[in-house]
Amino acid sequence: MAVRTAEEGRLLVGPDNGLLSLAWARFGGVVEAVDITRSPHRLEPVSATFHGRDLFAPVTARLATGAALADAGEAIEPGELEEIELPEPRREEGELTAQVLSLDRYGNAALNISHDDLAGTGLMLGREVEIEAGGERYLATFTRTFADLRAGGLLVYEDAYGNLAVAINRGDAASTLGLAPDYEIRVRPR
């Protein structure tokens, strides 16, 4: 599928499996969508396993060079597209209960807490943060960068997606705290 977003008119191309809904949600939703399965821009024959090469890349290239979205495939209603809804953090008595969305290869844990979720929580840059995971409590610092903390220090920081993440400077937070995707942790100011 290929879609145009409401804000900035961004064009997104990919599978209709819900993944792109995370991107279009940040840009006001979808105003136009097409099914690119039989796009005239695709390569032939389309491999069963290389859609990136045979379908997504050529359609994206044509759109990037000015081709009309309507010419890339058959129009579909935006409401018919698959969407993913990420869990929202819960506020409970001065703390946020968050879920681990993902772990990277360094053991950093991305949480479902956005910058906007921090309002009124007392969680602020430069302050200490208490993290509760698996019945254990840990003391972290809310920093901008890893370098703001000594090696081995536990930190909470805003990642490239604008969400909070938990990490250990030069360490593995996932292993140390026993974190896995979908795992719940509590975050509170100290």
Domains contained in the chain, number:
2
- Evaluate whether residue 182 is within a structural domain: yes
Better-predicted residue by pLDDT, 88 or 115: 88
Here the CATH number for the domain that contains residue 155 is 2.40.30.90
Q: Which residues contact 107 (CB under 8 A, 6 or more apart)?
A: 167, 168, 171, 172, 173, 174, 175, 176
Examine the pLDDT at 120 and tell me if it is beyond 90.
no
Confidence band, pLDDT 50/70/90 cuts, at residue 77: very high
- Evaluate whether residue 42 is within a structural domain: yes
Residue with token string 């360490």: 171
Domain that holds residue 12: 2-80
- Evaluate whether residue 99 is within a structural domain: yes
pTM as predicted: 0.76
Q: Percentage of the chain with pLDDT > 90?
A: 86
* 116 and 179 assigned to the same domain: yes
